[in-house]
Amino acid sequence: MRQNSTAPRNNKLKPSSNLIMNGSVRVRVIRTLLAIQNGQSLSSVLDPLLNSLHDGDKGFAHALLLTTLRQWHALARLLDSLADNPIDEVEVRTTIQVGLVQLLYLEVADHAAIHETVEAAKEIEFAHSTGLVNAILRKVAKNPSKFRKKCDKKHSLPNWLAYQLKQDWSEQYDELTQGLRQPAPMFLRVNSAVTSVKDYQHALDGAEIDADIVELTTGFKVANSSGSATSTTLSTKGLRLHQSTAVNALPDFALGTASVQDMHAQLAAPIINKALMAKLSAEKSDTENTNNEIHILDACAAPGGKLAHWLELMSASDESSLFHVKQDNNEISSETSPAITDIKVTAIDNEAPRIERIRENLQRLNLSQHDLQQADNSIALNVVCADATRWQHGKNKKAATNEPVFDAILLDSPCTATGVIRRHPDISILRTEEDIEQTALLQADILHNLWPQLKAGGYLLYVTCSILKQENVEQMQDFITHHNDAVVIEFTDDCNWGIEQAIGRQCLPIDSASGDGFYYALLMKS
């Protein structure tokens, strides 16, 4: 999944682009917030901030930074109501908002919050603002509960995004906008090729880490060998930690036993894997079919979580493995269907650093090409740095013919990432209204390029971590109007996740214990 990083287009905000990690904890947080407003992502500045601090200060800095980002737009509106005159200097606004967070959300003692924030204004060379900073913070400190209620009353999103969510999700709007202000739970995906979810929960218990098993059920209708539709269901199990935990504290994390992955993101690999098995089932009556090789594509694959999950399923020894083709309900029979002997996996992403991230994650999980070659199963993995709007398998640009190659495609499409604002609250600052249209056009270009490379009878799973309909259900509706060979696979009422859409299902990050905002649509090529 690619997340575009776009600087806010606000002519009044002209923060410095220098990220200098020195001074007090509050000063470093302020400078980090200025860097984010200047277009840098939270993921690129968080580690430099924390690595510059003593261990005893890291927890406070992390809470101060993340809470300020989550409440950013609500704090900005509160600040405007408190100031007698508009405050245009971004450094001053940011400093005051950091002070407000301490008073309203972190329960820092009044005198410490005010004094240290005023001193921070001096450190960043805005001493002329100390009187204003002091006056506003003292006013709030006299009645913090009043101002906290005022801050919490409405959303903490840019107005354009709040308006769009109101248009898309009027019934869920209040819950959704409040849910986006909260921290997201931490979920783990257990490597089914190594251990079971239950056994890893026991290992967590031994490490005094509390976790609950979460089970998501997915049902959808697929074509069978007779040409009619058959309902199929699958179960996806993960672990939800009671409290977020450093990965180095997780049992055998470095050995690849578990991965951090949102629960709704864990749906992708099982769905496309099950659909691919349905394709094999539909072909089982063809006794002349001696081609036991399949080829699959993971497009926009970085950082590789869904790819790794799919490889884990292929490598498992249970019915989820394509090498052990056997299912109940007459879906797939190992006696009548030739066993898969070779699987070719291609993964593409368009940035070299992100390709390296894929390789690092696969290395930890013992899923690199070398590891796969050493295993009993014959899986050939090829990770390619390429632009999904133009890339075509096995062809150079001049000779590209868009020939059908793949039996299944997992498209983790670029999106505005509005569904993961709880985890990446900088998104509400970095995204602009114009980004939606640009991203939708990019998604369409990728779909139009990849679809001709899918074989007849093959499946494409379209996934985003957006909650905007223009990138999701509306994108799919537009796509099928231009592709008569695209058949929508219906999700059934067996699904215990998401909201049914005209095409696909949409998860919303409303429940504080549930996963992020993901959209899923499954298409088959007729």
- For residue 311, how many other CB atoms are within 10 A of its CB? 28
Say if CB 262 and CB 515 are below 8 A apart: yes
Q: Is the bond preceding residue 303 a cis peptide, omega within 30 degrees? A: yes
283, two tokens: 């072909």
Say if CB 219 and CB 183 are below 8 A apart: no
Q: Which residue has the tokens 């020939």?
A: 403
- Which is the catalytic residue, given 300, 465, 495, 507? 465
The half-sphere exposure of 108 on its side-chain side, counting CA atoms within 13 A, is: 22
Length of the chain, please? 526
CA distances from 368 to 304, 374, 379 (A): 11, 10, 10
| Neighbouring residues of 112: CB distance < 8 A, sequence distance ≥ 6 | 102
The stretches of 125-259 forming alpha helices (DSSP H) are 130-142, 144-152, 159-168, 173-179, 197-206
First-last CA distance in the chain: 27
Measured distance CA(507)–CA(473) in Å, rounded: 12
| Neighbouring residues of 81: CB distance < 8 A, sequence distance ≥ 6 | 150
465 classed as catalytic: yes
92, two tokens: 């001053």
* Greatest extent of the chain over all pairs of C-alpha atoms, in Å: 84
The closest of 433, 464, 466 to 158, measured between CA atoms, is: 433
197, two tokens: 């979810």
Say if CB 496 and CB 317 are below 8 A apart: no
Say if CB 336 and CB 492 are below 8 A apart: no
Measured distance CA(305)–CA(301) in Å, rounded: 8
Say if CB 82 and CB 144 are below 8 A apart: no
Annotated catalytic residues are 465
